[in-house]
Structure 1
Amino acid sequence: MTATPAATPPGNPVPTPAESSSAPSSASWEDLVTTALLGTDRRPPASGAPGRPAPVALLDAAAVATVRRRAGLRPARAARRPERAPEDPRPALPAAAARRLATLLADRSGGTSGGRRGSSPDLMELLPQWLAAANTHGYAAPSHTLPALLDAARGRTDLRPAALAFAGPRALWLARLNPDWRFVLRAAPGGGSALPDAGDAEAVGRLWREGLFAERVALLGSLRSRTPALARDLLASTWAAERAEDRLMFLDSLRAGLSADDEPFLEQALGDRSRNVRTTAAELLSALPDSALAARMAVRAAACVALDRMGDAPVIVVEAPLECDSGMERDGVVAAPPAGRGERSWWLGQLAEAAPLGVWPERLGGRTAREIVALPVADDWQGELHAAWCRAAVRQGNAEWSRALLGSPSAPEAGGPGAVSLAERAKLLATLEPAERAGWVAGFIATHGLSEAFQLLGVCAVPWAPPLGRAVVDALNIARDAGSYPWSFSGVMGLAERCLDPVEATRLEALLAVPDEREDAAPGAGGYWAEAFQRLAVTLRLRAEMTAELGAAPPA
């Protein structure tokens, strides 16, 4: 049976097979889309069958191109297969710990959205602690959990250091295959490339001269942690040719392993063209009490502060600098004060902050730090002087002065004799040993409650020492008895879930029952407190189970 060809409209001859196959192939899909958007009058198709109207030829070409795209790509040369993932020599996780990790990574609750937190633990908040414990044991991450682990670290920057340490070398291998995990390459030393050994002088020099900025920063940090002198000499070799912003970043790496050997280089940096570089160099030198800059600052600061014995009791008198000369500016003193700050008080604070704290006992009658802080200061200079001493104690890591400035935690004034803010108190506490730090914060909570203690709790070692844990639980119990809602203490509750020693769970059993509500209590507050303590107790038991699982013998 012979098919009858369809009638052909006048003026539209049927194209030959050769014309039909060649017309659409001469233009890419992007060219066809551009022609359609502009119109065939403004941009005729690049090719088409002779005699075919331009719109029809465009549609013919688009039809053929669509079929071709749906049919798939033409065969091409196979791409190079990725290299095998590196082996991870660390021992495998115990089976129970591996199941726990999968549960933690699968949880996406993140807590409830309102002030009420519910009674179920937030598993994602326990993941950082679990990772820290697993890294302490030296376990390797199970391969099947790596994608979820990297996704979690991608969304939470606080997880990244511990997560990448746990993921090991395979995290870099995966990051090179998936652009979503590119942050792993940025976080790895040298951008994921292997850094040369410190003993390979040629490779070290070549990377320092030719490497990318991130690679050079990583190289300098790596050398500084192992061979500080080599890192400093490497930086000095190209210092004059570096950009100002790069010099500042490189100079900051000298904080690690800072010693008197760095003084000549830092003294040279005091004459740098960049004010930020000069300020950073001066800050580093002032952290070296025996440096020449510290001695110069001691002379300047001592000239401004003296002891007046003329009255009934000795008083500290202050005469702030009258000007900021070129020598002070070279040593890091910023001449222009911030808005709302007087020039002379601004200069005085910088001098007292940079001067070694050891200069003051000799200057002020041989008194100890505690005795000096207790002295009255004339003309309302006490706040400025004590604040500068706080910054000096933190910069120089001086525990004696930190104790004196913190004062007694049970003092009526929550600010202590010298600390003027919670942030400064937290920094001063960081210079003390963990046990002493926890004891001071426990005393502070016992006297002043939890309303101002959140920032101080953040600098205490985890798990909290028994005195601190008992003080927190007792303060929460007092807050419950006061009849208010627990939501204003949700931050402390969250910290307690992560930082309280799990053995404290037994002390919480008496707090799980709903108490009798006082007449002046908020409606339903007792039930909400019971729910909050239930959540805390369950979380502590869960942390105890996690610790036991990680301590179990791994599979052979």
Structure 2
Amino acid sequence: MTTSQAPWTDLVEDALLGTNRRASPDLLGRAAAATVARRAGLRPAPAPPLPEPAPQDCRPALPEAAARRLATLLAENSSELLPQWLGTARARGFAAPPELLPALLDAARQRSDLRSDAVVVAGPRGRWLSALNPDWRYVLRIPAQETAAGSEPPTATGTAADAVWQEGLFAERVTHLTRLRRADPAAGLALLRTTWPTERAEDRLLFLDALQEGLGPDDEPFLEAALSDRAKNVRATAAELLSTLPGSGLAARMAERARRAVALGTDGALLVDPPALCDASMLRDGIAATSPTGRGDRAFWLGEIIAATPLSFWAELVEEADATQVPQRVLSRAAAPTWSDELREGWARAAVRQHDAAWARALLAERPEQVLGRAVSGGAPSRLLSVLPAAERAAWTARFVSRQGLADAFQLLVTCAAPWPADLSGAVLDALAQAAETGSYPWSHSGVLGVAERSLPCSAAARIDALAAVASSAWAEVLTRLAETLRTRAAMLAELA
């Protein structure tokens, strides 16, 4: 203990013991004087070295109006317009203004869906700035290379890839694996193998989902091994992925089970006899021992088998060489009411897994109201529309909206690419007009209105103004806001041109 430290230590001891136990005249006065002396004697710490200057960004600066728009969107935290603004600015190769980089990086920190576009728009200066603030370190885990306008961000390689995979947040790791699978499926699988045994079950489940990108026969051995995973959901997901590979061993095993469960009767109708029990081989192939759906076990097992059977099996069963005619021929033979629903739901799931537009088209055409009704309730047919080409998907949704209105249309509308074509836009606007006339509450259509803000063509603003002019006060306010959003979108895109 140094001489300079001793008086302060004595003062602290006197204060802790109390003046009634140790005499200490003018304790507070001496403590105040000692405090001033200690502070006066402190030497300032050396200043930290200045960082290297920010790198130059050679991309064109934003037009002045577009820069003002970005500042407004960041201040308002616009959930609908900011993603589209960033995607457009990125595609057109603009650099964000330096003074807006902190707000832009903060917005992307709070919303992971903005990060890819925000980091590219922020550019090298944003990356330089992120190294100075721990809150923005997520930027350093995103590939540094800038991409060509409108292209997929590159996948990190070497040390950068190791940092993303070993240190990144879970969402960043999934994104990295997905991009790597798109670029090099074998490299993506090899990366996943390096940490697979140590991953948590819930993480293994989502990593398996990423294998849908570039899924092929080379993935079969890994997925077959995953059928023995200790987590039930992982086993089920591995089985579902294998069922999308028509040449896989699992697909062949499911086809054999379908052959035992479904036969062609002498009258041409399908004879259905589902399994009476779930044996060990069915359990290993991802079929649960008891139905988790509320249906009977046999009905559940039948549906699982049909969903995982290659659709080519049914061409062999009905001896039809023309693949486009198989769905109609098979559906016409499945009239028996006992197992009809299980067969159709199984075929719908198989069509989605195997991306078979002919089967999806046939199922939708057979009973459109019933199938689309299931779609909006969240069942397997909800993805049937996603199998169809974009224009056909939009046309189906337009017909559904024209018949059924908007009450159950949200899940269908979000599958349609923006901006919506004329037939779908017209159907949605007609349905909005009808909803306003019947006096339904606007907030009951909040989901549809939200997707309409980013998907209706900007030219629809004039018609929406006309609807607002004759609507009730509640609807007039909602429709006016929708029209203003479309006009804002039009101005925003013009500023970025």
TM-score class normalised by the smaller sequence: 0.7 to 0.9
Over 3 Å counting, the alpha-carbon distance change for 1:261 and 1:530 in structure 2 is same
Task: Say if 2:17 is the partner of 1:40.
Answer: yes
2:117 maps to a residue whose letter is A
SS at the partner of 1:168?
A: helix
Distance 2:101 2:183 in 1: 30
Over 3 Å counting, the alpha-carbon distance change for 1:395 and 1:182 in structure 2 is same
Over 3 Å counting, the alpha-carbon distance change for 1:321 and 1:439 in structure 2 is same
- Unaligned 5+ segments in structure 2 are 145-153
Residue in 2 aligned with 1:128?
83
Residue in 2 aligned with 1:357?
311
Task: Say if 2:48 is the partner of 1:79.
Answer: yes
Contact kept? 2:402, 2:427, Cα under 8 Å: yes
Alpha-carbon shift at residue 185 of structure 1 (Å)? 5.0
Over 3 Å counting, the alpha-carbon distance change for 1:107 and 1:52 in structure 2 is same
Q: Find the partner of 2:341 among 368, 373, 383.
A: 383
Contact kept? 2:349, 2:381, Cα under 8 Å: no
Residue in 2 aligned with 1:3?
none
Deviations 1:241-289 (A, max 9, x none): 6456475565444322111222233334434455444333322221111
SS at the partner of 2:469?
A: coil
Larger Rg: 1
User: TM-score normalised to the size of structure 1?
Assistant: 0.74
Task: Say if 2:57 is the partner of 1:101.
Answer: no
RMSD after superposition: 3.9
Deviations 1:101-132 (A, max 9, x none): 11222226xxxxxxxxxxxxxx5532222122
Distance 1:276 1:257 in 2: 22
Q: Which has the higher contact order (CA 8 A, sep 6+)?
A: 1
SS at the partner of 2:263?
A: strand
SS at the partner of 2:270?
A: strand
Residue in 1 aligned with 2:150?
none
Residue in 2 aligned with 1:481?
437
Residue in 2 aligned with 1:6?
none
Distance 1:528 1:417 in 2: 29
Residue in 2 aligned with 1:346?
300
Distance 1:271 1:547 in 2: 52
Distance 2:460 2:196 in 1: 58
Task: Say if 2:408 is the partner of 1:452.
Answer: yes
Q: Find the partner of 2:282 among 328, 332, 337.
A: 328
Distance 1:76 1:271 in 2: 60
Over 3 Å counting, the alpha-carbon distance change for 1:422 and 1:265 in structure 2 is closer
Q: Find the partner of 2:121 among 143, 162, 166.
A: 166
Distance 2:355 2:14 in 1: 71
The total of aligned residue pairs comes to 480
Deviations 1:436-457 (A, max 9, x none): 1111111101111111112211
1:90 maps to a residue whose letter is R
Residue in 1 aligned with 2:392?
436
1:99 maps to a residue whose letter is R
Alpha-carbon shift at residue 158 of structure 1 (Å)? 3.8
SS at the partner of 2:311?
A: coil
1:372 maps to a residue whose letter is V
Which range moved further: 462-471 or 328-337?
Answer: 328-337
Contact kept? 1:426, 1:459, Cα under 8 Å: no
2:86 maps to a residue whose letter is L
Distance 2:173 2:14 in 1: 49
Task: For 1:154-233, list aligned pairs within 5 A.
Answer: 154-185=109-140, 188=142, 207=162, 211-212=166-167, 220-221=177-178, 223-233=180-190
Over 3 Å counting, the alpha-carbon distance change for 1:154 and 1:386 in structure 2 is same
Alpha-carbon shift at residue 234 of structure 1 (Å)? 5.0
SS at the partner of 1:279?
A: helix
2:243 maps to a residue whose letter is S
Over 3 Å counting, the alpha-carbon distance change for 1:326 and 1:153 in structure 2 is same
User: TM-score normalised to the size of structure 2?
Assistant: 0.82
SS at the partner of 2:215?
A: coil
Contact kept? 1:24, 1:60, Cα under 8 Å: no
Residue in 2 aligned with 1:498?
454
